[in-house]
């Protein structure tokens, strides 16, 4: 049995990974341990969960020494872009120091380190991006994630970096929302929303991202992989598609420019990923955005 440590198991991707690891396909091959800050928010996990603050080196070392993972899928991070801009020290601790600590603690076990990164390492001037594109972050979040990538890249452990884009999906007791849920909930409440139409992304179904991570884990693949959806959409396109899919009132959605919002952190205008490498090498097959909405809908009613 291969032992997989999933950091951030309380988060959106973390929860999807834990669910995937419980399916027959993976349950026969992998044992898992979820770690996150605070209490377990996925109660079905009770016996395979430890609360660990990843910014505490001793706690990280202790957890890894006990479990001795063959594979670490590091999803935990400070993911709110504006929070990172305003709380730089906390962002650095969670997004950079935690990576350093995990790599250091895992060294004796030569764990395969699968690290989650982001399209926000790019400036968004020349998307869509492939794995060779040159990063140039324009937010502190992006800077911290790029710094973490560099540390992973220089690690003596076997490693893979998974870059992803605008993840959507449903999870239990979520600490943050995502674009599809925000649009759906706002329109259901009859609330008018302003949505930008001058940014482009390839939105990613959380299940697809989890699947991409597990393809890497199963194949012990190394290097950088873009794992996202494949349709290039603006947030406004996403909002309209969501409204139509759930038969909600699309007239509540107002198309606006990003310049309308005064946010602490800058957003890259056009990211979006070319996922050909993951398709060819890993057999990665993401859902279309429309299919992704269908997956999300079944989870909301179940």
Ligand X SMILES: NC(=O)c1ccc[n+]([C@@H]2O[C@H](COP(=O)([O-])OP(=O)(O)OC[C@H]3O[C@@H](n4cnc5c(N)ncnc54)[C@H](OP(=O)(O)O)[C@@H]3O)[C@@H](O)[C@H]2O)c1
- Ranked by CB distance to ligand X, the top (closest) residue is 11
Q: Which residue ranges make up the site for ligand X (CB under 6 A)?
A: 8, 10-14, 36-38, 52-55, 75-79, 94, 98, 116, 118, 145, 164-167, 175-176
CA-CA distance, 20 to 42, in Å (whole number)? 13
Bridging pattern class, strands 49-51 and 30-36: parallel
Give the residue from 275, 233, 286 showing the smallest Cα distance to 129: 275
Shorter beta-carbon distance to ligand X: residue 148 or 248: 148
Round to whole Å and give the CA distance between 102 and 104.
Answer: 5
Q: How far is the CB of 229 from ligand X (least distance, A)?
A: 11
* Smallest separation, CB 114 to ligand X (Å): 11
17: left (phi over 0), alpha (psi -120 to 50) or beta: alpha
Closest approach of ligand X to the CB of residue 292, in Å: 13
Cα 241 from Cα 292, distance rounded (Å):
11
State which residue, 8 or 212, has the beta carbon closest to ligand X: 8
Least Cβ distance, residue 247 to ligand X (angstroms): 26
- Provide the minimum distance between the beta carbon of 104 and ligand X in the complex, in angstroms, as a whole number: 15
Q: How far is the CB of 249 from ligand X (least distance, A)?
A: 26
Q: Which is nearer to ligand X, 175 or 197 (CB)?
A: 175
Cβ closer to ligand X: 15 or 186? 15
CA–CA distance, 215 with 212 (Å, rounded to integer): 5
Beta carbon nearer to ligand X, 54 or 241: 54
Residue with Cβ nearer ligand X (146 or 247): 146
What are the two backbone dihedrals, phi and then psi, of residue 8, each rounded to the nearest 5 degrees? 75, 30
**CA pseudo-torsion sign 292, 294, 297, 302:** negative
d(CA 179, CA 218): 30
């Amino acid at each position: 049995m291969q032992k997989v440590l999933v950091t951030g198991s309380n988060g959106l991707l973390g929860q999807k990974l834990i669910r995937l690891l419980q399916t027959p396909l993976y349950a026969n091959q992998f044992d898992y341990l979820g770690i996150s800050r605070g209490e377990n928010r996925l109660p079905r996990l009770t016996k395979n969960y430890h609360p660990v603050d990843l910014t505490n080196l001793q706690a990280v070392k202790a957890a890894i020494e006990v479990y001795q993972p063959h594979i670490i899928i590091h999803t935990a991070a400070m993911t709110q872009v504006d929070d990172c801009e305003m709380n730089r020290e906390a962002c650095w601790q969670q997004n950079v120091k935690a990576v350093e600590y995990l790599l250091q603690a895992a060294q004796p076990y030569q764990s395969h380190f699968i690290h989650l990164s982001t399209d926000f390492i790019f400036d968004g001037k020349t998307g869509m991006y492939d794995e060779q594109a040159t990063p140039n972050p324009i937010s502190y979040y992006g800077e911290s994630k790029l710094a973490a990538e560099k540390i992973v890249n220089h690690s003596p452990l076997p490693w893979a970096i998974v870059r992803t884009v605008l993840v959507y999906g449903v999870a239990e007791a979520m600490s943050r929302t995502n674009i599809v849920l925000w649009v759906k909930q706002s329109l259901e409440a009859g609330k008018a929303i302003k949505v930008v139409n001058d940014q482009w992304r390839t939105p990613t179904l959380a299940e697809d991202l989890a699947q991409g991570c597990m393809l890497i884990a199963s194949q012990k693949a190394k290097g950088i992989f873009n794992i996202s959806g494949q349709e290039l959409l603006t947030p406004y396109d996403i909002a309209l598609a969501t409204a139509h899919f759930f038969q909600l009132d699309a007239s509540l959605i107002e198309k606006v420019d990003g310049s309308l919002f005064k946010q602490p952190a800058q957003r890259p205008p056009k990211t979006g990923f070319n996922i050909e490498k993951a398709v060819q090498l890993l057999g990665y097959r993401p859902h279309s955005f429309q299919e992704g909405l269908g997956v999300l809908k079944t989870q909301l009613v179940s």
